[in-house]
């Protein structure tokens, strides 16, 4: 009995050895896993490509972008030779000006003309793209919008050479206040700026309306001067850095044209009646 007790103790001690080795082995594996995890390097982030800086960082004064002589030729008897500025909360990104006039010849009839010029500039933006790309998108939208003018007849759109980097002329007829008007709109893009020129005319009190070809010819003359005015004051300034700017939208000018037309039509008709 006394000899069996020590023997039992030795057996238990030997049986415990494998258990301790197993525990130690598990502990070692756990440490290796942690070290392996901590040594893993995070994946490198891809550098975002920088956008091309915008070519122009300012717009010309819309009311002086077309020469006085051209205004006199295209809009005879204009009521405001200096033009009527369009509304804009930021003239560095959007500007416009319009002129209208009625050459009243009494019972012999009258000629009405209306001219409008608009500028829209886009800055380069890391998330939205370069100013040139954003201007290209706006150019496409304006051409499509002009072609879809409500009530327009005989719509024709053609590329216009020599105006900026891309340009389109859109001609069409439109009946307003019982008069037939001929319209021509030139939409052009130069760098990060979109230029839009709209010219229309009609004959009142029996006078013959201008031809579509004549209206387009005069509209092209005004558009050439408007496009040339972009960057003319300071050369082609390049923005030092891409700026963040909400995409401006060109405000429609049809309402202003309609008001001026209605007023001119009433005036011409009244005079024609009194003199007849």
> Residue 1 falls within a domain, yes or no?
no
Contact 260, 267 (CB under 8 A): no
pLDDT for residue 4 is more than 70: no
Q: Interior CA angle at 147 toward 214 and 170, to 5°?
A: 25
> Residue 33 falls within a domain, yes or no?
no
> Residue 270 falls within a domain, yes or no?
yes
The whole-number average pLDDT for the span 188-201 is 98
Q: What is the pLDDT of residues 86-136, one digit of tens each?
A: 998 898 999 999 999 999 888 788 999 999 999 999 999 999 999 999 999
Q: Interior CA angle at 139 toward 134 and 142, to 5°?
A: 125
Q: What is the CATH number of the domain that holds 183?
A: 3.40.1000
Q: What is the pLDDT of residue 130?
A: 97
Residues of the chain with pLDDT > 70: what percent?
Answer: 67
Give all strands (DSSP E) within the chain, no chain letters.
84-85, 94-104, 110-121, 153-159, 166-176, 179-190, 193-204
Residue 107 tokens read as 């019972």
Residue 25 tokens read as 């082995």
Q: Interior CA angle at 63 toward 239 and 173, to 5°?
A: 110
pLDDT for residue 197 is more than 70: yes
Instruction: Give 138's Cβ-side CA count (13 Å radius).
Output: 31
Split into its structural domains, the chain has a count of 1
Residues of the chain with pLDDT > 90: what percent?
Answer: 58
pLDDT for residue 234 is more than 70: no
pTM for this predicted structure: 0.70
> If you compute the radius of gyration of the chain from its CA atoms, what whole number of angstroms results?
37
DSSP state of 29: H
Q: What is the pLDDT of residues 15-64, one digit of tens each?
A: 444 444 344 444 444 444 444 444 445 555 566 678 899 999 999 999 99
The whole-number average pLDDT for the span 223-247 is 66
Q: What is the pLDDT of residue 34?
A: 46
> Residue 242 falls within a domain, yes or no?
yes
The CA distance from 134 to 125, in Å, is: 9
Residue ranges making up the domain that contains 246: 62-275
> Residue 254 falls within a domain, yes or no?
yes
Per-position b or e across 133-159, b if 16+ CB within 10 A of its CB: bbbbebbeebbeebeeeeebeeeebee
> Residue 221 falls within a domain, yes or no?
yes
The CA distance from 224 to 198, in Å, is: 13
Contact 145, 164 (CB under 8 A): no
Q: Name residue, tokens 């301790």.
A: 20
> Residue 222 falls within a domain, yes or no?
yes
Sign of torsion over alpha carbons 158, 161, 167, 173: negative
> Residue 189 falls within a domain, yes or no?
yes
């Amino acid at each position: 009995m006394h000899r069996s007790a020590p023997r039992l103790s030795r057996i238990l001690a030997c049986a415990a050895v494998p258990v301790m080795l197993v525990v130690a082995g598990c502990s070692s594996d756990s440490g290796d896993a942690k070290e392996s995890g901590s040594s893993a390097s995070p994946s490198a982030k891809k550098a975002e490509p920088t956008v091309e800086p915008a070519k122009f960082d300012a717009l010309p004064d819309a009311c002086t972008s077309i020469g006085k002589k051209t205004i006199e030729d295209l809009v005879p008897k204009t009521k405001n030779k200096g033009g009527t500025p369009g509304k804009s909360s930021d003239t560095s990104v959007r500007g416009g000006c319009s002129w209208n006039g009625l050459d009243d010849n009494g019972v012999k009839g009258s000629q009405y003309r209306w001219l409008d010029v608009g500028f829209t500039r886009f800055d380069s933006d890391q998330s939205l793209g370069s100013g040139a790309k954003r201007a290209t998108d706006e150019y496409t939208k304006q051409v499509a919008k002009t072609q879809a003018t409500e009530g327009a007849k005989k719509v024709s759109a053609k590329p216009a050479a020599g105006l900026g980097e891309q340009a389109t002329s859109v001609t069409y007829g439109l009946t307003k206040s019982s008069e037939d008007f001929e319209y021509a709109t030139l939409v052009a893009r130069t760098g990060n700026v979109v230029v839009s020129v709209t010219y229309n005319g009609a004959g009142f009190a029996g006078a013959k309306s201008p031809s579509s070809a004549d209206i387009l010819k005069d509209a092209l003359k005004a558009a050439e001067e408007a496009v040339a005015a972009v960057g003319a004051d300071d050369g082609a300034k390049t923005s030092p850095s891409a700026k963040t700017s909400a995409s401006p939208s060109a405000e429609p000018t049809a309402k202003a044209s309609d008001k001026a037309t209605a007023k001119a039509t009433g005036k011409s008709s009244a005079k024609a009646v009194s003199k007849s």
